[in-house]
């Protein structure tokens, strides 16, 4: 099995395309099941956030795996693969590991170094574990990715500014409101993780009074109480909008919550001398209808606008240091992977040798029934010792060779020479905790993918 990443992000796709590809929580398990039901896909993890939609898969062949993943994404999007193919990036084998580790370290985020992605990756891994679509390969990949992300934040200053997508969006908002959010009334629409982060950040910036609304009223009340904010029912959205300067929309709704009608009615009740009503749309699919941006007196900051405006990242030295950490961790993971691939083969070889010795000792016992128990035991020890000595140096050497680039060929050669059957393993480990969970463009044919692939359909017990 090889690792394959297929995805789209704010770097390669507009919000409209990300909306098409986004997978709602209610559809995650079904989509994961559809992925592993494909002939070339054995394991799958799906990451769907406001900035990216990515599938991490263990596949038996590149071209077949790519076709399978794209077919499921197309089914989810309700559009043919050609409609979004130019917005997808593809990473295979070692390049896939590098991409996942860079994502975990925050190097691929809109706000470079933000830590919220760690929580999002952990949630995606947890979901795949619960759906039983993450096997041995993806378990190890995701656990190591989470560790790499935490190491990047612990050992470098990449997150020294403490930024997240929310803080970056509010920085842009401040520029539209005379440079200061203090004393500016604000409304948060949505009481999930992003809504909670938004409310906490607004509170730290001294914005207020603060209001929260959510389809589930109880959740809005609990969140509001944590920050001394007011909670209003979603039915009171229009009057709530009319009294604020800042709105952060971060719901999981599949249709816009802030429609032209809703915002127009709020503007009719709002004092125009207050200045612009700034709407921060941090949701995918969008919470703010695209047409709202054309209304007078409204400023909309969405993912597309943030991607265009956020050009500055952390200090180059910090980013470079994280890059070095990622490079070292990728090589360590690939070395482990090559060694892990050969271990079952070595075990199978030793098992085959034991079977041969056992069968020959049984034949000897039948041919020489006059041997005493001590004689039979001595013969058995001698034969086992000879076999173990013969196997020792080759198996040690093959483990060493397997840890080097291209080392997987040695395990394959052993299996071919000795006609070994190596069972597929899938150890399931606990999902590790993440302490801090506050949050190039390519297409089919990028350099990360192999030039050729026989793509023979999997056999035996493989999916």
Q: Which residue has the tokens 């200061």?
A: 180
In 3-state terms, what secondary structure has residue 209?
A: coil
Q: Report residue 411 as tokens.
A: 């395990």
Cβ neighbour number for residue 124 with a 10 Å cutoff: 21
Q: Report residue 69 as tokens.
A: 């993943």
From the list 288, 299, 192, the residue with the least C-alpha distance to 237 is 288
**CA contacts within 13 A on the Cβ side of 319:** 14
Rounded Cα distance between 192 and 187, Å, is 14
Helices marked H in 283-372 — which ranges?
A: 303-309, 316-367
Phi then psi for residue 257, to 5 deg, are -90, -40
Rounded Cα distance between 63 and 18, Å, is 23
Rounded Cα distance between 248 and 264, Å, is 17
Q: One of 4, 21, 22, 50 is an active-site residue; which one? A: 50
For residue 44, what is the enclosing H or E element?
A: strand 41-48
Contact by Cβ (8 Å): 379, 361? yes
Does residue 70 have an active-site annotation? no
Contact by Cβ (8 Å): 231, 189? no
**CA contacts within 13 A on the Cβ side of 179:** 0
Q: What is the dihedral of CA 262, 264, 266, 272, to 10 degrees?
A: 160
Residues taking part in catalysis: 50
């Amino acid at each position: 099995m090889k690792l394959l990443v297929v995805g789209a992000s704010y770097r390669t796709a507009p919000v409209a395309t990300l909306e098409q590809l986004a997978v709602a929580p209610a559809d995650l398990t079904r989509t994961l099941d559809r992925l592993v039901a494909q002939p070339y896909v054995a394991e799958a993890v799906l990451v769907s956030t406001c900035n990216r939609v990515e599938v991490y898969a263990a596949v038996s062949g590149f071209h077949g795996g790519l076709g399978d993943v794209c077919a499921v994404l197309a089914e989810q999007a309700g559009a043919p693969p050609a409609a979004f193919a130019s917005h997808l990036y593809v990473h295979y084998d070692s390049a896939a590991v590098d991409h996942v580790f860079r994502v975990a370290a925050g190097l691929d985020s809109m706000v470079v170094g933000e830590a919220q992605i760690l929580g999002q990756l952990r949630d995606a891994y947890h979901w795949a574990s619960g759906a039983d679509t993450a096997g041995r390969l993806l378990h190890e990949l995701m656990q190591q990715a989470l560790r790499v992300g935490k190491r990047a934040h612990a050992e470098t200053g990449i997150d020294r500014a403490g930024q997240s997508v929310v803080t970056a969006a509010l920085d842009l908002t401040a520029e539209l409101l005379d440079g200061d959010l203090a004393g500016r009334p604000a409304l948060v629409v949505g009481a999930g993780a992003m809504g909670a982060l938004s409310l906490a950040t607004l509170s730290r910036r001294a914005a207020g009074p603060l209001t929260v609304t959510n389809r589930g009223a109880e959740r809005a009340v609990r969140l509001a109480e944590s920050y001394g904010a007011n909670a209003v029912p979603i039915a009171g959205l229009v009057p709530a909008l009319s009294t604020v300067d800042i709105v952060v929309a971060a719901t999981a709704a599949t249709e816009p919550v802030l429609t032209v009608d809703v915002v127009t009615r709020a503007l009719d009740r709002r004092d125009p001398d207050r200045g612009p009503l700034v709407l921060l749309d941090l949701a995918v699919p969008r919470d703010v209808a695209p047409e709202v941006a054309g209304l007078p007196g409204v400023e909309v900051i969405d993912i597309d606008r943030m991607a265009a405006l956020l050009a500055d990242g952390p200090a180059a030295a910090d980013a470079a240091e994280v890059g070095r950490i990622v490079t070292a961790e990728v090589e360590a993971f690939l070395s482990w992977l090559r060694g892990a691939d050969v271990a079952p083969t070595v075990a199978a070889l030793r098992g085959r040798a034991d079977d041969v010795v056992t069968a020959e000792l049984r034949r000897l016992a039948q041919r020489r029934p006059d041997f005493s128990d001590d004689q039979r035991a001595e013969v058995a020890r001698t034969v086992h010792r000879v076999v173990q000595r013969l196997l020792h140096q080759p198996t040690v050497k093959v483990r060493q060779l397997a840890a080097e680039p291209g080392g997987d060929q040695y395990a394959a050669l052993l299996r071919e020479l000795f006609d070994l059957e190596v069972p597929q393993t899938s150890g399931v480990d606990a999902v590790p905790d993440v302490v801090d969970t506050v949050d190039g463009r390519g297409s089919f044919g990028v350099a990360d993918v192999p030039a050729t692939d026989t793509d023979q359909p999997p056999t035996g017990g493989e999916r």
